[in-house]
């Protein structure tokens, strides 16, 4: 049993043959259940009601059980790929048809009851898959097929699938005695519940800082207007990214910036500081039962690095490469702090970091974020994003009028191949923050591509972001960082939709976790290129294209904090590895202590005292022992973009080749083979180091 669903659940905490459903079972009273939709149909989200998710869950779990029974009923002497392996892929597809949308609803729906129901549904699906992962009869059936002439002579993706299934069963403990397998299933079920609770605590956490007129000094007038509560006569700064970022960049009140940083860094601290050791312990129990020294050793055996030692060496090498530059950046910030305060400064506090970086950007590089934002109005950025990706990758997007969505602000599009005119898939954009919505930016897979004979199941995905809402006469203006985030996440979406993989488990972003970020990281380069920026970076009032001198200043400032920023990535990756590779003593050191110790070793600014940043480090759930993958895949992304730089950043032939060679196969091939084929050589880190200014 391929361990896809355990990973998919973790990732969603972000990133079908449709076997026909019985007509009666797809009805709820006289109303059709929106989650029991047909082949290449979309979900009628506007009609989703309490009870629908669990009702649909029951239907597809029953259908999946029927598929399993049919596989098990085949005599071992008659086993083929089509009656043993392919139905298993169909089973994953059937469950994913409800599990994936439920995971999205858990993060974005406005109804608490529906979000809770979605969480309950994900637990049921996870339990089903956990049981399947140690189903001895199914494992024996797959092994029996592997011993047939057909099984022995498989090649290409079919051989990859068979090998992956057998390896996954073995890695899930199929060789353990029955009572141990049952114990392992209990551990995995406990882990599922802990991880859902961990993510829910983060996404539903809210806090607000009450701020006076004086404490708002330094912030832009438009921001003040948007934060003012006329009923209470005060300013209210919540901890969402759009609110917090501007305040931390501009407020001249150090005391108030510190107070906001305390609120932000203590998100979900009361609950999650206690939860993290619990799910870490469950993961270590799992590793112990399976014969691994640590959970990191277990996970990495099946990833590109293969061993924890490789990841530790990678993080250490990156830390050392960044040290000189990050120290120079610190010294520069200390100069600005000294100048600002009139006394010699020797340390930088977290609540000063963004403020001082902004001062440096304005004074040294003459880059004012508020000036830059005038050229990145959300709709203009969206138009540019669409123009670039359509031209480069051979795509065409059409809006869906009056779509059935989970919130009135959500947009829906169809994606076509520009040459053939064929429909490729559908995608949604949920762009603005609201209460109880996923608080970062992520792509959520809803339906994965999959071949059924002559027909192909069209993928569906949703992009969830938290870009500022328009206020008064001012439209939604993005920082350049936010525009970069938009391009990054849209890279995930394209990866998910342009897939041509035959099998569910490999389609779209169904690739190795340490490669999945590369197709999104490469997209960030298009917002740092003069030629492409001129296509869409236009002043929201005058439509004047962004001036060359401003572009030059922005590009000069591109790597102003690259050392510190990537050191922070090393810090997070090292926390992840430390906790999952047994490099701490839970009896004598809390997870907060671990984070503080590593912070002092790796970073050269001070954390806000009395806070627990680790409590909201959501990647501990989804990227367990995998956070190194952001830097790992960035090396590959920058190397691949070097081809675009050489052949033309808007070259449709290069873009089409990238789409067909790297994106379309998904996980059907080893990711390094995809990279080598696109590059025409072995990858290296030269472009990556250059991109950081090293």
Average pLDDT over residues 27-54: 89
**For position 13, what pLDDT does the model report?**
32
Confidence of residue 1 (pLDDT cuts 50, 70, 90): low
**For position 30, what pLDDT does the model report?**
57
Half-sphere exposure of 326 (CA within 13 A, CB side): 21
- Assign 3-class secondary structure to 499-553: CCCCCHHHCCCCCCCCCCCHHHHHHHHHHCCHHHHHHHCECCCCCCECCHHHHHH
Is the confidence at residue 608, as pLDDT, over 90?
yes
Please indicate, yes or no, whether residues 295 and 318 belong to a single structural domain of this protein: yes
**For position 8, what pLDDT does the model report?**
37
Please indicate, yes or no, whether residues 521 and 535 belong to a single structural domain of this protein: yes
**For position 604, what pLDDT does the model report?**
96
Is the confidence at residue 218, as pLDDT, over 80?
yes
pLDDT tens for residues 87-138?
999 999 999 999 999 999 999 999 999 999 999 999 999 999 999 999 999 9
Please indicate, yes or no, whether residues 544 and 600 belong to a single structural domain of this protein: no
Average pLDDT over residues 555-581: 96
Is 48 a member of any domain? Answer: yes
Please indicate, yes or no, whether residues 485 and 610 belong to a single structural domain of this protein: no
pLDDT tens for residues 647-665?
999 999 999 999 999 999 9
Which of 572, 409, 467 is closest to 241 using CA atoms? Answer: 467
Is 411 a member of any domain? Answer: yes
Confidence of residue 623 (pLDDT cuts 50, 70, 90): confident
Which of 395, 425, 427 is closest to 411 using CA atoms? Answer: 427
Is the confidence at residue 369, as pLDDT, over 70?
yes
Is the confidence at residue 385, as pLDDT, over 90?
yes
d(CA 484, CA 490): 10
Which of 479, 491, 562 is closest to 521 using CA atoms? Answer: 491
Is 686 a member of any domain? Answer: no
Q: Which residues form the domain of 572?
A: 269-365+562-622
Is 166 a member of any domain? Answer: yes
Is 602 a member of any domain? Answer: yes
Please indicate, yes or no, whether residues 215 and 299 belong to a single structural domain of this protein: no
Beta strands at 423-430 and 460-464: parallel, antiparallel or unpaired: parallel
Average pLDDT over residues 444-459: 97
Chain-centroid distance, C-alpha 334: 34
Please indicate, yes or no, whether residues 254 and 387 belong to a single structural domain of this protein: no
For residue 428, the 8-state DSSP code is E
Average pLDDT over residues 465-478: 92
Please indicate, yes or no, whether residues 37 and 140 belong to a single structural domain of this protein: yes
Is 58 a member of any domain? Answer: yes
Q: Is 676 left (phi over 0), alpha (psi -120 to 50) or beta?
A: alpha
Greatest CA separation for the chain: 84
**What positions carry a catalytic annotation?**
489
Residues 6+ apart with CB under 8 A from 117: 50, 51, 53, 54
Please indicate, yes or no, whether residues 348 and 412 belong to a single structural domain of this protein: no
Q: 171, 196, 224 — which closes off a domain?
A: 171
**For position 6, what pLDDT does the model report?**
37
Q: 573, 606, 622 — which closes off a domain?
A: 622
Q: 579, 602, 622 — which closes off a domain?
A: 622
Please indicate, yes or no, whether residues 587 and 518 belong to a single structural domain of this protein: no
Is 652 a member of any domain? Answer: no
CATH number of the domain enclosing 500:
3.40.390.10
Is the confidence at residue 16, as pLDDT, over 90?
no
Residue for token digits 């490789």? 310
**For position 513, what pLDDT does the model report?**
87
CATH number of the domain enclosing 601:
1.10.1370.10
Confidence of residue 7 (pLDDT cuts 50, 70, 90): very low
Is the confidence at residue 196, as pLDDT, over 90?
yes
**For position 242, what pLDDT does the model report?**
85
d(CA 405, CA 407): 6
Average pLDDT over residues 45-69: 98
Please indicate, yes or no, whether residues 592 and 454 belong to a single structural domain of this protein: no
Is the confidence at residue 156, as pLDDT, over 70?
yes
**What tokens does 640 get?**
């691949």
Q: Is the dihedral of CA 314, 316, 321, 323 positive or negative?
A: positive
pLDDT tens for residues 291-319?
999 999 999 999 999 999 999 999 999 99
pLDDT tens for residues 496-525?
999 999 999 999 999 998 999 999 999 999
**For position 473, what pLDDT does the model report?**
86
Is the confidence at residue 20, as pLDDT, over 60?
no
> How many domains does the chain divide into?
4
Question: Rounded mean pLDDT of the chain?
Answer: 93
CATH number of the domain enclosing 139:
1.20.1050.40
pTM reported for the whole predicted model:
0.90
Is the confidence at residue 164, as pLDDT, over 50?
yes
Is 180 a member of any domain? Answer: no
Is the confidence at residue 404, as pLDDT, over 90?
yes
Please indicate, yes or no, whether residues 58 and 140 belong to a single structural domain of this protein: yes
Average pLDDT over residues 642-651: 98
Please indicate, yes or no, whether residues 314 and 401 belong to a single structural domain of this protein: no
**For position 28, what pLDDT does the model report?**
43
């Amino acid at each position: 049993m391929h361990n896809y669903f355990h990973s998919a659940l973790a990732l969603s905490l972000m990133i079908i043959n449709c076997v026909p459903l019985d007509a009666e079972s797809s009805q709820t009273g006289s109303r059709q259940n929106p989650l029991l939709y047909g082949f290449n149909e979309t979900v009628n989200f506007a009609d989703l009601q309490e009870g629908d998710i669990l009702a649909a869950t029951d239907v597809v779990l029953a259908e999946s059980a029927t598929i399993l029974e049919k596989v098990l009923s085949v005599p071992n002497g008659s086993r083929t790929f089509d009656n043993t392996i392919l139905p298993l892929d169909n089973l994953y597809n059937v469950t994913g048809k409800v599990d994936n949308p439920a995971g999205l609803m858990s993060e974005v729906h406005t109804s608490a009851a529906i979000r809770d129901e979605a969480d309950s549904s994900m637990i049921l699906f996870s339990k089903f898959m956990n049981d399947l992962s140690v189903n001895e009869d199914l494992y024996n059936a797959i092994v029996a097929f592997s011993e047939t002439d057909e099984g022995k002579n498989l090649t290409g993706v079919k051989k990859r699938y068979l090998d992956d299934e057998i390896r996954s069963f073995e890695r899930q403990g199929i060789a353990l005695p029955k009572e141990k397998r049952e114990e392992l299933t209990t551990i995995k079920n406990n882990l599922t519940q802990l991880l859902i609770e961990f993510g829910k605590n983060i996404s539903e956490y809210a806090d607000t800082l009450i701020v006076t007129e004086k404490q708002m000094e330094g912030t832009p007038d438009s921001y003040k207007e948007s934060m003012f509560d006329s009923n209470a006569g005060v300013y209210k700064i919540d901890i969402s990214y759009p609110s917090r970022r501007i305040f931390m960049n501009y407020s001249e009140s150090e005391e108030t910036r510190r107070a906001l940083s305390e609120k932000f860094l203590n998100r979900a601290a009361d609950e999650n500081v206690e939860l993290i050791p619990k799910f870490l312990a469950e993961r270590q129990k799992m590793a112990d039962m399976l014969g691994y020294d640590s959970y990191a050793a277990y996970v990495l055996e099946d990833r590109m690095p293969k061993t924890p030692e490789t990841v530790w060496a990678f993080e250490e090498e990156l830390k050392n490469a960044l040290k000189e530059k990050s120290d120079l950046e610190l010294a520069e910030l200390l100069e600005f702090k000294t100048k600002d305060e009139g006394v010699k400064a020797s340390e930088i506090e977290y609540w000063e970091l963004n403020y001082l970086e902004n001062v440096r950007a304005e004074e040294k590089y003459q880059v004012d974020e508020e000036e830059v934002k005038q050229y990145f109005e959300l709709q203009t950025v969206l138009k540019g994003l669409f123009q670039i990706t359509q031209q480069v990758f051979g795509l065409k997007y059409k809006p869906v009028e009056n779509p059935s969505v989970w919130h009135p602000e959500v947009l829906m599009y169809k994606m076509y191949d520009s040459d053939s005119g064929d429909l490729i898939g559908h995608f949604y954009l949920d762009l603005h923050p609201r209460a109880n919505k996923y608080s970062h930016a992520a792509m959520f897979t809803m339906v994965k591509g999959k071949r059924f004979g002559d027909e192909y199941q069209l993928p569906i995905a949703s992009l969830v972001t938290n870009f500022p809402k328009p206020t008064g006469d001012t439209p939604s203006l993005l920082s350049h960082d936010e525009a970069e985030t938009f391009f990054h996440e849209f890279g995930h979406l394209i990866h998910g939709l342009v897939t041509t993989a035959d099998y569910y488990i490999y389609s779209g972003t169904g690739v190795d976790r340490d490669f999945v970020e590369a197709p999104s990281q490469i997209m960030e380069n298009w917002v740092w290129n003069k030629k492409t920026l001129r296509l869409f970076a236009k002043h929201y009032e005058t439509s004047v294209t962004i001036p060359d001198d401003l572009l030059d200043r922005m590009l000069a400032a591109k790597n102003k904090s690259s050392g510190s920023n990537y050191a922070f990535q090393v810090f997070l990756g090292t926390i992840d590895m430390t906790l999952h590779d047994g490099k701490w003593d839970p009896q004598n050191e809390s997870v907060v202590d671990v984070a503080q110790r590593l912070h002092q070793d790796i970073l050269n600014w001070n954390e806000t005292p009395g806070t627990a940043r680790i409590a909201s480090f959501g990647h501990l759930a989804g990227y367990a022992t995998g956070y190194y993958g952001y830097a790992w895949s960035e090396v590959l992304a920058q190397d691949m973009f070097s081809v675009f730089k050489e052949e033309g950043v808007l070259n449709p032939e290069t873009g089409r080749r990238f789409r067909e060679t790297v994106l379309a196969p998904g996980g059907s091939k080893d990711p390094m083979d995809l990279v080598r084929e696109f590059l025409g050589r072995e990858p290296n880190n030269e472009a990556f180091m250059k991109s950081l200014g090293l």
